[in-house]
Structure 1
Amino acid sequence: MNSPLHGPDKALRLAGIGAVMLALGAGFAYAAGWIGGPQLTPQRIIDTFEAQAGHYPGYRKNHAKGLCVSGYFQPSGQAATLSTARAFTQDRVPVIGRFAIGGANPFAPDTGIPVRSLAIELSTDDGQVWRTGMNNPPVLAISTPQGFYDQVLANAPDPATGKPDPAKQQAFFAAHPESAAFRQWTASYKPSDSFANTQYHSINAFRLIDASGTAHPVRWQLEPQTPFAALPGKVDDKQFLQHDLQQRLTQGPLRWTLRLVLANPGDAQDNPAQPWPAERRSVDAGALVIEQVDAPEQGACRDLNFDPLILPSGIQPSNDPILAARSAAYSESFNRRSRESLGAGARP
C-alpha cells in the first residue's frame, strides 16, 4: 500500500481529491502558524485559491455546492458513560445539516468531485450547540507544516492544462510517506450512488469528558444504514446526488449510526494523516435521522458556520493544531461570503 501510484489517471485522481482537501488547508495555514511571513495572510491565500479554483461571490469557499437538510439525533445511551454532553442522553436532539461536495464551484456536477461532506448542528435542551463537519476521506495526506507547504506547491495548476501536474503529484506522494493511508484510501475509493450511503468521518480527534472529568480521546464517523450501491459509470444529471437525496426522502427518513472510535494509549491524537487500527473499541452512540431537504442553499443551514470548535460541555478539542486552523478558516470563509452576499443584496 506504500508504493507510489502509477499512471496519469491515478495521479490526477489523487490530485483532485488532494486539491479539495487542500482547499481546507489553504485558508488556515497562516492562522495556525504553519507557514509564516507577511506575504502569507489568510486573505491572500484564499485569494490565491479563488484565483485558481474560481471566484463565486456569496458562496462558501470550499464545499460550495450543497443543500440544507433537517432531522434529529436519537442517542442509544451507550455514550453517556463517556461524556456528559446532553446530546448523548436527551431523547431526541434537533439537527440542522448540510450535504455538499468539495470544491469552490457551486455549479460543478455532483458526481465530478470525489470529496463529499456532511456537516451537522445538534441543539440540545440545555441551550448548548454541537457542530461537526465530516468528510468521506478518513484521513488527510499531510501531518507537518512542511508537508502542507509541499502539497500547496504540488497542487498548483499547470498553466498549460489548468490542472495539477501529475508528475508533481506523484513526486509529492513519493516524498511524503505519511500520505500512505490517504493514498490507500484514494486508490481503493469506489464512489457510491448517493449521499445516503456514504460514510463520513471527523478526521480530527476530540476528547469526550465523563462525569468524573476523565478524558476519552475519540474520533467519530457516521456509518450509513442505507446499503452501498456503486455510482453509475455515466451520469448526465449535474444535480444527481441532490435529486437522489430528495427522491429518497420522499420515501422516508434516512439513517446513519454515529460511531465513536476510542483511542488506545499511543494512538496519534494530533496527526490527522495517521489512522487508528481497525480493532479499536467503538461505541454506537445513536442514530442520525435525516427527515427532509429544506432547499439547496436556502434552508436553515445557509447562515451556519460549521466550526468544529463549537462544542458542548462534555466534548473538548484534542491538541491537533488543524482543529484551531479549521476554525480560523471557517471564520474567514463565513465572513467573506457574508460580506459578498450583502453587497449583492441577496444570499445564494
Structure 2
Amino acid sequence: MRDQPARPRSSRRTLRTFAVCAIPAALAAVFLSCVGWLSPRLNARRIVNAFEATTTPHPGFRRNHAKGICVTGHFDSNGDGALLSRASVFAKGRYAVVGRLSIPGGDPGEDDAAATVRSLALRMTLPRGEEWRLAMNSTPVFPVRTPQALLEQLQADARDPRTGRRDPAKMQAFLDSHPEARAFRRFIEQHPPSSGYDNATYYGISAFQTIDAHGIRRFVRWEVVPDKPYRAVDAGDLRDPDFLFYDLSKSLRKGPLRWHLFMNVAMPGDTTDDSTRQWVSSPRRPRIDAGTLVIDRAQTQIDGACRDLAFDPTVLPDGIAPSADPLLAARSAAYAVSLQRRTSEEAAARARAH
C-alpha cells in the first residue's frame, strides 16, 4: 500500500475539496425544530441533497467527511479557562473525550492525497450530564458566510446526472460571484496541508460566547495546537491512499498525542458573526491556554466509539453559547437530516440481511 504512485491533483479537484470542507459529521434531529433559517426555499434537506449530488451514493456513511478514524482520550483542564467561562470543562480536572479525525468529501474511499483540509471533531463528557462538542478544521475560515451561499457552492460542485462529471465553469462562476471565498483560498494557497492528522492545528472557525462566573460575556474563537511540529505533506506521504490513517496509528504506537486548547478573545473591530473573516493576529489579543487534549487510542470508524456520534458544534455546556454566525444553526439542522438518513440506511441494510 505504501508504494502506490501518487495520484495527480488538479486545481479543479482542489476547488471541489475546498467547497465541502466545513460540514463534519451528521447530527441529532432535535435541532431541526429550533433553528430559524429553515424555509421552503432553503432548508436542511436541500443542503444535504446538495452534498449528496457532489458524489456517488454511499449508503450508511456521513454525507461529508465520510472517510475518517475514531479516536479516544481525555482533556486535562488546567483551570485557566475559568477566567473566561464558568463552564465545568474549565474547572481543573480530567474529562473523557471521544473524537473523529477526517477529510472532506462524501466518498469513504477517497484518496488522502486529494484532501487539503484535515478535520477534528470532539465530544467531551462533563459533570452533571453536560457535554461539549467541537467541530474543527485545519483552516481558520470558511469559504462562505451564509447557508444560501453554501447551497449555491454545493450546486456549483454537483455532478451532471447524465455524465457523472462536474462542470468546472460552474465552480469558477460561483467563486467569481463570491469574493468572500478569497480569504479561504488564500489561506489554502499559503499553508500546505500537514503531513498527518497529528501535526495539524485545528480551528473552531465560528465565534462563540463565553460567560464567566460574574455573568460577563466575551466572544472567543478556539484553536487546538499540536505539540508535534508541523510538517508539510510531501510526495512520499502521497504514495499511500490511506497515509493519514496509517501514520496516525504508527504515531500512537509510540505514545499519546497532545494538543493545547487555546481561546482567543475578540478585540474591538473583530467580526463575531462571519466565518469568512479571520481575526488579525496581534500580541495585544488575550489568549488563554485552557489545557491539553490527549489522544491515546484510535479505532476504525466502522466499529469505533465515534461511529454513531453527531459532532454538533452547538452542543455546549453552561458557560458557552453560540454567536449569531448563521452557519452554526444551519450546520446543526443539516447534520440532523444526514444522521437520520444514514441510520435509516443502516437499519434497512440489517433488515435485508435477516
Deviation at 1:154, TM superposition (A): 3.2
SS in 1 for 2:165: coil
The 8 Å contact of residues 181 and 274 in structure 1, kept in 2 or not, is answered as: yes
SS in 2 for 1:52: coil
Counterpart pick for 2:339 among 305, 329, 334: 334
Instruction: Go from structure 1 to structure 2 and tell me whether the alpha carbon gap of 1:275 and 1:15 turns closer, same or farther (over 3 Å shift).
Output: same
SS in 2 for 1:134: strand
> What amino acid is aligned across from residue 319 of structure 1 in structure 2?
A
The 8 Å contact of residues 55 and 159 in structure 2, kept in 1 or not, is answered as: no
Deviation at 1:242, TM superposition (A): 0.7
Separation in structure 1 between the aligned mates of residue 335 and residue 208 of structure 2, nearest angstrom: 18
| Number of equivalent positions | 335
- Aligned counterpart, 1:124: 126
Larger relative contact order (Cα-Cα within 8 Å, sequence gap ≥ 6): 2
The 8 Å contact of residues 63 and 338 in structure 2, kept in 1 or not, is answered as: yes
Instruction: Go from structure 1 to structure 2 and tell me whether the alpha carbon gap of 1:124 and 1:46 turns closer, same or farther (over 3 Å shift).
Output: closer
Q: Deviations over 1:4-48 (max 9, x none)?
A: xxxx954542332124447999xx99x96668545x553344234
The 8 Å contact of residues 134 and 203 in structure 1, kept in 2 or not, is answered as: yes
User: Structure 1 residue 252 and structure 2 residue 216: aligned?
Assistant: no
- Aligned counterpart, 2:4: none
- Aligned counterpart, 1:296: 301
SS in 2 for 1:312: coil
> What amino acid is aligned across from residue 17 of structure 2 in structure 1?
G
Separation in structure 1 between the aligned mates of residue 23 and residue 84 of structure 2, nearest angstrom: 33
Deviation at 1:282, TM superposition (A): 1.3
Q: Deviations over 1:167-198 (max 9, x none)?
A: 44344333322223112112113122110001
> What amino acid is aligned across from residue 96 of structure 1 in structure 2?
V
Separation in structure 2 between the aligned mates of residue 81 and residue 44 of structure 1, nearest angstrom: 41
Deviation at 1:292, TM superposition (A): 0.8
User: Structure 1 residue 318 and structure 2 residue 323: aligned?
Assistant: yes
- Aligned counterpart, 2:153: 151
The 8 Å contact of residues 135 and 203 in structure 1, kept in 2 or not, is answered as: yes
Moved more, 320-329 or 8-17: 8-17
SS in 1 for 2:274: coil
SS in 2 for 1:79: helix
Separation in structure 2 between the aligned mates of residue 299 and residue 15 of structure 1, nearest angstrom: 29
> What amino acid is aligned across from residue 291 of structure 1 in structure 2?
D
Separation in structure 1 between the aligned mates of residue 315 and residue 67 of structure 2, nearest angstrom: 23
Separation in structure 2 between the aligned mates of residue 156 and residue 301 of structure 1, nearest angstrom: 28
Separation in structure 1 between the aligned mates of residue 126 and residue 253 of structure 2, nearest angstrom: 27
User: Structure 1 residue 228 and structure 2 residue 230: aligned?
Assistant: yes
Separation in structure 1 between the aligned mates of residue 99 and residue 135 of structure 2, nearest angstrom: 9
> What amino acid is aligned across from residue 336 of structure 1 in structure 2?
R
Calculate percent identity across the aligned residue pairs. 42
SS in 2 for 1:275: coil
Separation in structure 2 between the aligned mates of residue 16 and residue 196 of structure 1, nearest angstrom: 21
Separation in structure 2 between the aligned mates of residue 125 and residue 289 of structure 1, nearest angstrom: 19
Name structure 1 gaps, 5 residues minimum: 1-7
- Aligned counterpart, 1:103: 105
Counterpart pick for 1:49 among 28, 48, 51: 51
SS in 2 for 1:174: helix
Deviation at 1:149, TM superposition (A): 4.9
- Over the residues paired in the alignment, what is the CA RMSD in angstroms? 2.7
Separation in structure 1 between the aligned mates of residue 54 and residue 173 of structure 2, nearest angstrom: 21
- Aligned counterpart, 1:18: 19
Separation in structure 2 between the aligned mates of residue 117 and residue 335 of structure 1, nearest angstrom: 22
Separation in structure 1 between the aligned mates of residue 277 and residue 117 of structure 2, nearest angstrom: 19
> What amino acid is aligned across from residue 15 of structure 2 in structure 1?
L
SS in 2 for 1:345: helix
Deviation at 1:160, TM superposition (A): 6.1
Deviation at 1:220, TM superposition (A): 0.6
TM-score by length of 2: 0.86
- Aligned counterpart, 1:268: 271
Deviation at 1:153, TM superposition (A): 4.3
